[in-house]
Structure 1
Amino acid sequence: MLLPGNEPGVKEGWYMSAVFSVIIPVYNVEMYLPKCLDSILSQTFKDFEVILVDDGSKDNCPEICDNYAAEDNRVKVIHKENGGLVNARNTGIRAATGEYICYVDGDDWIAENLLQVMWDKAVRDYKPDMIAFGMIKKFKNKEVEIPQIVSEGLYDKGKLEKEIYPYMIYDKRQSFFKGLIFLSACTKIYKKAVLEKHFCTEEHIHIGEDAAFIYDCAYASESIYFCRDNLYYYNRLNSDSMTGVYNAGRFENNQLLLSYIENKLGGKSENLDMQINAYRTYCLTVAVFHEVKCGRKLSEAATHIKAKLKLTNAIGEIQMEGLPFSIKVFLILLRLHCYVPVLAAAKVISKFRN
């Protein structure tokens, strides 16, 4: 990439790789994609490349991608058959030339100073293996800030081992289920050298794929910079997104995801094993709540859960020790096959929270 001579560390006329590679998996988001791309191309920090991975979109996304690439030589486009989010991200990693990689979903957008803040606060002076920052959820009638809860600053390996890893996935000092590292791939920036060794290699995971590599990357990092700025806009206006669609395969997906995480991080420490156990419980809880949040009849949902629990042994692999009392009650009721009462309670709780 030909970069202006006034960019950080770049001499005039040199062809060099970018500081940041922004990878955007694209699939049927034509209504939102232009806003996403405009937010990236208008960044105040200019030393970056954009890699659009068109994952077999059936709408006008392929044409939109090509039009932007024709107008800005920082934009690269890869058209491919549909392979899912993990496959699209991995395709982007292989094409990236930047020292750092970040992800933006095609229906989201970012603050115009995101990359500038990352450079000024973290990359320029510290070169951390990973950077974490906050997000804003955009709903139709409101927005919700989700700041990075860790105190701002650089955390070296010693500080990570003392203050972050014991509470990385599940922080038992907080309400269930919260951890110090927020579970969003798009509110992180990764040094490419680290991500290349710890990206998610199981491309059949289609729910919770962020967890498959975020914690692994964090645990492998020699340093992480935690930034309190809310710089990512998570679009909850998109009613067609996966979060609102019923998925009958959640239990099987969870089994695949948790086996993957266990293979990567299991046995590293007793504390980390406890956190993985808590995450296993969380995944089961979400799967149960998913049944009622998508409007299924309690009897149908109960039959489905009974079959899936028998198939995947989702409860049998969970250890009760260290879990909150309310979660223990939830698990005991499921082990006693009290599916309808559990689902009824989940329905009430979901309505209350909404």
Structure 2
Amino acid sequence: MSVSTLSVPLADDFHTHLRQGALMRAVTPLLKPSGVGLAYVMPNLKPPISNTEQALAYKAELEALAPGVEFMMTLYLGPELTPDEIHKAAKAGVAGVKSYPRGVTTNSDSGIESYTTYYPVFKAMEENNMVLNLHGEIPSDPNNDVCVMNAEERFLTHLKELHRDFPKLKIVLEHATTKAAVEVVESLGETVGCTITLHHLTLVVDDWAGQCHHFCKPVAKFPHDREALRRVIKSGHPRFFLGTDSAPHPRHLKEGPSAAAGVFTGPHVLPYLAHILESFGALDQLRHFACENGRRFYGVAQASSESVAVLVREPFTIAKEIHFTDDEGQERALVPFMAGKTLNWRLQ
């Protein structure tokens, strides 16, 4: 017999984009109403968050917009980041460093090209128990048969090498999309974790090819890849956890001549998750996947018993767009994931 209500801790989103300026002010207040109590914030702003002072200033802005949400901050891996800055950031409570290969996604033009260049930084991170968050793709390279469909699988060699060279460094492969990625993370040690998004549990390549609001990086892959993501969640594996990679872009940037990469799941995280997990028989894993595994991996205390969300089995239709005014005073719209569709669950 199916349950009609679910009481769970507020979700921990261990990978989200909250942007800056007017867009930040539009999306950050949606966190708690969506059922999120912890947000692990990506640093790919313009300019990127590359030092401790910038991270703390950004955190203060976010806290003012979403009181009661726990924000965990990250730095952008680039030439400006030094071992000394890592020691400083760790003392200030910065949780991790995000690595973007150059040019593969939004605001990654300053991304890295060589991991060995940053080995002194990784050593300092290992010493300070900071987490290395990896965007797991290599840049497309037609001369070497690399494109968006195999860029993640080609990256996995780097993951294995980094784990080999820094076995005590906590590493998270972000937003995995492939069967190969799942199997590699499963095969590695306790210091390697992995986030899975909401949209990659539903989409395959046919769902984003020609459909700009489903286009993200990394792109959704084949049905067997989606099945691997679902399988590992159903198994209750403790090193896989929620990271929505919610990435808001105004409609005109998604529907323009070159679609911006990102799926906007931020407005309804827990209702999406309950609806999607139930669709493949994993509703019983919601608490582990979204409220416990990530905290355990990061060494964060479990949420207090007061931070509870109640989900009710009732039809809930997603708005077709969310309006805001941009930094130039223009009226803009954000299109949320599954816009206009009806979920089976809503937050009470």
Q: TM-score range by the shorter chain?
A: under 0.3
Q: TM-score, normalised by structure 2?
A: 0.26
Which one has more relative contact order, counting CA pairs under 8 Å at least 6 apart? 2
Q: Could you tell me the TM-score, scaled by structure 1's length?
A: 0.26
Largest Rg, 1 or 2: 1
